[in-house]
A and B are shown apart, each in its own frame.
Chain A
Amino acid sequence: MATKIGDQESPQASASHQPSVKRAPPPETPAAIQTRFRVIAAFWAVIIFLGFPIWWKTTSIYRASLPIEEMVDWADGKACRPVFPLEIHLATPSMQSLEAQHLLRTTQHALDDLNEFAAHHLRLKLSNGSTTATHNGEDSPESFKYLAEETADTALTVRLLPQEGLVGPRSELQTATTQLDIFYPPNQVPVPSSSNSPLSAFITAELQRLYSEEKATIAYILSGNTAGLDSTSPQLAEEIDRRLRRSIKYAETYHLSFSLFTPGSEPSSWDIEAAVNEYVSPLLQALSPISNFTIDTQVQLYANFAPTAPKPEYDESEAVWTLKKEGLSAFVNAAEWPLNPSIGSGPTINFILYIPDPSQSPLFVKENRASSWMVPQWGGVFILNPPLSHTDKQGGPSNPTHLSQDSLGPAFMTFSHQLLTLLGTPSTPTSLPLRLQTSIRIRAASLLLSASSTMGSLARLTKSLPSIPIPATVATSVSTTLSHLSSSCAHLREGRFSAALASARVAETEAERSFFEKSMVGQVYFPDEHKVAVYLPLLGPIGVPLVVGLLKELKRIAGRRKAKGAP
């Protein structure tokens, strides 16, 4: 050990200070100094050029690059301004083409003047009256189906029919098709010279009325309020707000679950197949272009209220049992009633038919004597009070053992209405195909916005959390989302709403997938300080000689520089 001595002394220094008593070692040869320099340099080279990159490579997390700018643009609404040009065909079977064109021009002019919401506008188009009318009359449900066709969807066909003996024009909306018949006295056909005519004013007013709710809804979705629209009444705005908050998020498949709950043992069967066929299937068929539906039903006996739920109270004045309105939220005993969601993708909409116990029948909601209510974004409840029979040997009234299709009628009518509301279908106009078309546009708009805002959230997330990994699948999903978003926006601009909805659907699915990617939320299993503690016995003893060696070498080089510069 004595032979090993640190070489703090630079050779020059040891050479200059000649100790008197002991013999100093001879100055180191330049070759030895050179070798030592090379050894230290080699070690550090290995550390810097091999060790460090390997460590960096193996411990870094993969972050695929995302088009952050573009994503933020979508979220801020800079990438796309959704517009809804509705194409309305004007069928004028008994008008001269010149007259018809003039009527079209004046009406379009009047419509444009009145429109206060630029994103939603009506475009009139003259069509070969008779053919279009029959075409639309025949296959209106299928007419939503053509998706990627080049022509824009026809929103409405207005048929102008002359009728003798009328004082002013009269309109008639066909409830089963997308057709509006307008009857006019033949003498009111506008002449090309006049700039205004009662007929065109009437058509304008009719169209405005038909689409006022849709316009307000879309304005509400796009901007969050209907403040920009003067014509929208506060009641309508409130109605739209309520409906949008109640409706279930759009999905490709909905599971409808009809359940019969009763606290006793009766009734234990119901004519459910017939009731579903009679009351629900026709509606689902009409809704089939928008979503798919599955139906399941169940009968559950001995379904009691939750112990914490408020009990029904007896109203002596009317001899009925009542539930308080504020207690309705606790009516469904979620802990015990088997209302688990159906297997498979898509949300489940629950419809509960509750038959109260004979001792608590009839049962109503206290405030308004209603027997049904909706649970927003979840489903509906209907309390059925069947006529009690007193024939039972036990004494005391009892419920019927079987519910016939007729007795289920009111309940299932209510359920169909609740289903339409839960799906966000507007309440006007009276024609169901028109309402479904409106709902396509509303869905497309809300999906577009929702997918865009998901993109924005993802962009913010990746920026704010630099430690989370971003797998390549997320980047793929993001690019799919963005491309479908822009194609959806393009479809909207050209009035192909079904195609726009299809694209927006894909965009929404992909956006959700990228946002909820599992591997992005993986936790760090070993914290860094833990790893350091374990590897300190290795890094400490190796690191200290290396660092000290490097420092000495640097000092020597610095000293030599100074020595060179001094003389």
Chain B
Amino acid sequence: MTVLSLFSLPLVTLILSLWSSSAFASSDYHEHLLLHPLPQSSLLASFNFRSNTSKQSFDQQHFRYLPRALGQILQHAHTKELHLRFTTGRWDAESWGPRPWNGSKEGGTGVELWAWIDARGDEEAFAKWITLTQSLSGLFCASLNFVDSTRTTRPVVSFEPAGDHSAADQLHLLHGTLPGEVVCTENLTPFLKLLPCKGKAGISSLFDGHKLFDAAWQSMSVDIRPVCSADGECVVQIEQTVDMVLDIDRSKRSRSNPIPRPVPNEQLVCDTSKPYNSDDTCYPLEKTNDKAWSLTEIFGRSLNGVCPLTDFDGSSDQSVCLRVPHERGVFISEEADEIKKDDGFTRCFKLAPSAPFDLSIPQQPVNTEVPLDEPVLHAERTIVGHGQERGGMRIIFGNPCNTSAVDFIYFESLPWFLRPYIHTLHATITGHDGVLREVPASEIVKETYYRPAIDRERGTQLELALSVPAASTVTLTYDFEKAILRYTEYPPDANRGFNVAPAVIRILDTAHNAPIYIRSTSLLLQLPTPDFSMPYNVIILTSTVIALAFGTIFNILVRRIVTLDEAAALGAQTLKGRVLGKFVALRDRLRGKDTKVE
């Protein structure tokens, strides 16, 4: 009634849009799960969720697949492209081979965030970056608000935008890491809320915080980027992935009895060929890959149908894939269909829309193994040296390939309290003959980008373009000095050490279109740590010394100096002297009595 009256307003022009349902044609949603048993009885589960929102509805804040909270943060901080990573554990490249997604969907241990921000200058970009980290911190329940200027870097060659950006934007890349952040269930809950199906249907219904954070390695990622087609129509794409490597035995442990217990002797799998094998000595056999498992056992719940938002056309309806040899038997729920791929190792499953899905693999000896590629590069980084004042960094790069050299960018952001001496950068090279050769660093390092630290303002940023020859191992070393922090700058657990963010390695490989990323493990740096009761001790000691000095000088200045005799004379008249005299007399009398008795 009152509303009706509005529409008679002659001044208001009703803008009837030419909008049609075709505006949503570009909004689509995909999800995909790949299960890949790995050596040593591990299972890689790789979840991927991707959806598009048209640029127009993103700008007008009509959110459908893109979460509103995240979309508003991006608009508020003028962020054009965002990459957020939560990672725990270590990827065992020697047993498990190359990383999922070529390492492009994982971060260093803890939280890693990088974004391209549209801003007029560096300062404005940093101000927006701070807004972004503060808002994301609230959204993801992570300590991202601790990404301050000392933890922020601006990498030059290590990252490149993945989206299609308009030329008008002045993009600034900012990168921040929190190596000490413990990723846990409180980060998974907001992550799940961002998904359209919210973990209620589709592959996201498998997520269980207990299992996910019990994994040997897991990485959650959120990537948002603009994607433009050739005809200039742009969409904003959000891609969320969760990758985890579960230990099959550990995951199958019953929920009601989660405490790990030693395996009884009779159940140990021992190498009986060893001469010392007996009842009380056992050489454990390597875990085999033919273990029986099922989705319900591993994840603690079954897959709840499909998310109804996925497009039912083409290949995207096969949302679950498994990589085991075709000879291996797999039991699946009744309503689902199995489609075997031609490569001999992959099979995908077409799920029924609303029926729960389970998949189980019986124990079965297999002759063929799913081939694992050799990683392109091995990298390892450690802190060497001893003492509280100095230390050294040693980075080992191994090129397993026998024919070609590997070119890559090595990116390190060091905290300001670790002061590297770049002039001590040395390289040694070990060829396939095992001979160690000292080479000048310039022979290995093609280019260097170095931004020195400023105390308490920014950290060191070091980017090296390196080349490792075929079948050789390069060891880079440099020395550093450990700074002494101020009293209040020490965290409560200062004796644990300080986290140094993992190094990022970007392999420039022409064979792959997408770059390969490898991240080293994070390091713990021991700094000279004071005894924290020290300030009170210092205050008390200094006060005592000052009081002593003051008392002496003051007494000398105000006291009268007399001879010993005169002192005795004066003393006899004072109250103290009189009391003392009486006491002496009493003592003398007592002594006299004693002698009389004797």
Contact = CB atoms under 8 A, between A and B. Distances in A.
Contacts of A545: 550-551, 554-555
Nearest to A17: B573
A36 B555 contact: no
Contact of A3 (B307, B548, B564): B564
Contacts of A338: 67-69, 193
Contact of B9 (A32, A36, A40, A432): A432
A7 B542 CA distance: 30
B15 A281 contact: yes
Interface string A146-164: 0000000000000000000
B73 interface: yes
A4 B6 CA distance: 102
Interface stretch (B16-24, B107-115, B175-183): B16-24
Contacts of A115: none
A277 B16 CA distance: 7
Nearest to A270: B64
Interface stretch (A214-222, A291-299, A379-387, A507-515): A291-299
Nearest to B571: A5
A546 B554 contact: yes
Interface stretch (B147-155, B196-204, B320-328, B413-421): B196-204
Given A5-B560, A9-B574, A298-B64, A22 B15 contact: no
Contacts of B24: 269
Given A7-B560, A537-B547, A297 B197 contact: no
Contacts of A251: none
Given A296-B68, A541-B544, A283 B3 contact: yes
Contacts of A25: 560, 562-563, 566, 569-570
A282 interface: yes
Contact of A268 (B308, B550, B557, B562): B308
Contacts of A277: 14-17
Which label, helix, strand, loop or mixed, suits the secondary structure of the B interface? Answer: helix
Interface stretch (B55-63, B232-240, B479-487): B55-63
Nearest to A281: B15
Interface in A213-268: 257, 265-266, 268
Nearest to B196: A301
A296 B72 contact: yes
A57 B572 CA distance: 48
B3 A417 contact: yes
B597 interface: no
Which label, helix, strand, loop or mixed, suits the secondary structure of the A interface? Answer: mixed
A273 B551 contact: no
Given A3-B561, A302-B197, A542 B547 contact: yes
A527 interface: no
Given A394-B353, A416-B3, A282 B9 contact: yes
A340 to B, nearest CB: 5
B565 interface: yes
Given A36-B558, A344-B76, A542 B6 contact: no
B62 A32 contact: no
A299 B76 contact: no
Contact of B559 (A7, A278, A302, A430): A7
B546 interface: yes
B7 interface: yes
A494 B571 CA distance: 91
A342 interface: yes
Given A23-B569, A281-B15, A427 B550 contact: no
Given A2-B564, A17-B573, A420-B2, A340 B64 contact: no
A285 B6 CA distance: 10
Interface residues of B, number: 73
A283 B15 CA distance: 12
A19 B3 contact: no
Interface string B377-393: 00000000000000000
Contacts of B16: 274, 277-278
A285 B12 contact: yes
Contact of B308 (A17, A176, A265): A265
Interface in B571-585: 571-574
Given A277-B14, A338-B69, A343-B76, A430 B5 contact: yes
Interface residues of A, number: 76
B55 to A, nearest CB: 14
Contact of B2 (A3, A295, A427): A427
A175 interface: yes
A239 to B, nearest CB: 14
B562 A5 contact: yes
Interface in B189-246: 193, 196-198, 200-201
A4 B14 contact: no
A298 B57 CA distance: 11
Contact of B554 (A23, A43, A342): A43
Interface in B424-447: none
Nearest to B544: A537
B42 interface: no
Given A19-B572, A296-B63, A534-B536, A542 B566 contact: no
Contacts of B573: 9, 14, 17, 19
Interface in A1-39: 2-9, 14, 17, 19, 21-25, 28, 32, 36, 39
A432 B6 CA distance: 7
B404 interface: no
Contacts of B570: 5, 9, 14, 24-25
Interface in A335-356: 336, 338, 340, 342-344
Contacts of A14: 570, 573
A541 B564 CA distance: 27
B129 to A, nearest CB: 15
A447 interface: no
Interface string B311-351: 00000000000000000000000000000000000000000
B8 A176 contact: yes
Nearest to A266: B308
A255 to B, nearest CB: 9
B18 to A, nearest CB: 10
Contacts of A4: 555, 559, 561
Contacts of A21: 569
Nearest to A404: B21
Contacts of A9: 570, 573-574
Q: Most chain-B Cβ atoms within 10 A of its Cβ — which of A279, A281, A296, A535?
A: A296
B558 A534 contact: no
A413 interface: yes
Contact of A24 (B193, B307, B547, B569): B569
B198 A302 contact: yes
B567 A3 contact: yes
Contacts of B68: 257, 296, 298, 338
A416 B196 CA distance: 28
B201 A542 contact: no
B104 interface: no
Q: Most chain-B Cβ atoms within 10 A of its Cβ — which of A3, A36, A420?
A: A3
B61 A297 contact: yes
A272 interface: yes
Contact of A273 (B60, B200, B307, B309): B60
A28 B3 contact: no
B381 to A, nearest CB: 38
28 contacts: A3-B563, A4-B555, A9-B570, A23-B566, A25-B562, A25-B570, A40-B558, A175-B5, A265-B197, A268-B64, A269-B24, A273-B19, A277-B15, A282-B9, A286-B9, A297-B63, A298-B67, A301-B198, A302-B201, A338-B69, A343-B72, A394-B354, A430-B5, A535-B543, A537-B540, A537-B544, A541-B550, A542-B550
Interface of B: 2-3, 5-12, 14-17, 19, 21, 23-24, 57, 60-64, 67-69, 72-73, 76, 135, 193, 196-198, 200-201, 307-309, 353-354, 536, 539-540, 542-544, 546-548, 550-551, 554-555, 557-574
Top 8 A-B residue pairs of the complex, sorted by shortest distance between their CB atoms:
A541-B547, A538-B543, A296-B61, A22-B569, A25-B566, A537-B543, A265-B308, A302-B200
